Amino acid sequence: MRAHRHGRPLSVAAFDAAPGLARPLAAALARAAREDDVVSRAGPGRFRVLLAETDAFGALAFLRRAEREALAEPALRASPDGPAAAAVTFPADGPALSSLLARCEARLVAWRASAARALPPAAEGFWPALDALVAAGAFLPCRVEPDEVEAEVARGLARDPAARALLYAGGGAPGRFAPLLAGLPAAGGRAGDRGPRLVLLGPRGADGEGAPRHPLARRCYVEGDRRLSRERFLLALFGRAAYALVERDGRALHLADAPAVQALATRLAASYELAPA
């Protein structure tokens, strides 16, 4: 592979759907792909996308972009059994294309066993998806205080300021975002630099009185949303892992099922019309 000769990143994304959904899925992937990406059909309802110059976090971003485009297809939006999706990256997931494809197939199998399969159709939005995962027992009790969990996530980013990560934090209690903002890495560059990104979602005042601004954090103010005013959540997406924390009825629950967390993030962005971060 050219990526092997030149030491450049390369990713492969895979999508499997019912044969009857192949045409709308192909249309969604064509819109999500960049000019240099190669979309190919691997069988009935099966597609593989070669993502040149794309690391693990970039591959995750492509999966989210593809799911957003899938929401624009009525047949996919209404389907209770959406396409399975997975991605792998050279060289971390394999030294050759054959090993990458084998690892990708294994991740598709893992996706089919994920709690993401219990989600309602994507058209129903973020909160029904979150409720379905909680009701299905996908979230487990978290024995650490939510403030400490979020502070540790922020400290992890501070230890590796170049790490690529996307965090969505929501909730309306005054000062709710303080642990995350306090722990973010010192920003030595512009907001457009590669590195972690944090999207804060809630009513005005949720970040606390006089909270400092940070170029890596983007505030999206939502007023009058009762769920945001009483429920707290964190969605953290990394290159090969994802984590979700939710606090409701005085209980903290968490989830490390990457496909399910990625699906929640996509539905959150669609429900609140968030621009890609």
- CA distances to 53, 126, 135, 171 from 168, rounded to whole Å, are 26, 12, 22, 10
**Rg, the chain, Cα only:** 19
On whether residue 121 sits in a domain, the answer given is: no
pLDDT for position 194: 56
Residue 248: inside a domain: yes
Q: Which pLDDT tens digit goes with each residue over 185-226?
A: 765 544 444 567 888 888 776 665 556 677 778 888 888 888
The domain of 68 spans 2-113
* Count of Cβ atoms closer than 10 Å to residue 181 Cβ: 21
- Same domain (yes/no): 144, 36: no
Q: For 66-81, what is each residue's pLDDT tens digit?
A: 988 988 899 988 887 7
What pLDDT sits at residue 204?
75
Both 107 and 135 in a single domain? no
CATH classification at residue 172: 3.30.870
Taking residues 172-176, what's their average pLDDT? 73
Residues 145 and 233 in one domain: yes
Q: Which residues pair with 242 in a beta bridge?
A: 237
For 37, the 3-state DSSP assignment is coil
The pLDDT value recorded for residue 190 is 44
Number of domains in the chain: 2
| pLDDT tens column, 106-159 | 989 988 889 988 788 776 889 999 999 999 999 999 999 998 998 888 888 777
Are 28 and 65 in a shared domain?
Answer: yes
* 276 located within any domain: no
Residues 65 and 263 sit within 8 Å (Cβ to Cβ): no
**Same domain membership, residue 88 and residue 53:** yes
Average pLDDT of the residues of the chain: 84
Question: 223 near 204, Cβ under 8 Å?
Answer: yes
Return the pLDDT at 266: 85
Q: 261 and 140, same structural domain?
A: yes
Within a domain: residue 166?
yes
- Residue 165 maps to a domain: yes
Are residues 156 and 63 part of one domain?
no
Last-in-domain residue among 113, 137, 163: 113
* pLDDT for the residue 269: 87
Q: Which of 259, 246, 250 is nearest to 139 (CA)?
A: 246
Query: What is the value of pTM for the model shown?
Result: 0.78
Is the domain of 132 the same as that of 96?
Answer: no
Per-residue pLDDT averaged across 96-105, rounded?
A: 89
Domain with residue 107: its CATH number is 3.30.70.270
pLDDT in tens, 28-44: 999 999 999 999 999 99
Residue 189: per-residue pLDDT? 45
For the residues 259-269, what does the mean pLDDT come to?
89
Burial of 229 (0-12, 13-18, 19+ CB in 10 A): middle
Q: What whole-number distance in Å separates Cα of residue 138 and Cα of residue 58?
A: 27
8 A C-beta contact, residue 222 and residue 193: no
Establish if 193 belongs to a structural domain. yes
Is the per-residue pLDDT at 2 higher than 80?
no
The C-alpha atoms of residue 67 and residue 12 are separated, in whole angstroms, by 16
In this structure, are residues 271 and 201 in contact, taking their beta carbons and an 8 Å threshold? no
d(CA 124, CA 77): 9
In this structure, the answer to whether residues 39 and 163 fall within a common structural domain is: no
My answer on whether 89 and 166 are in the same domain is: no
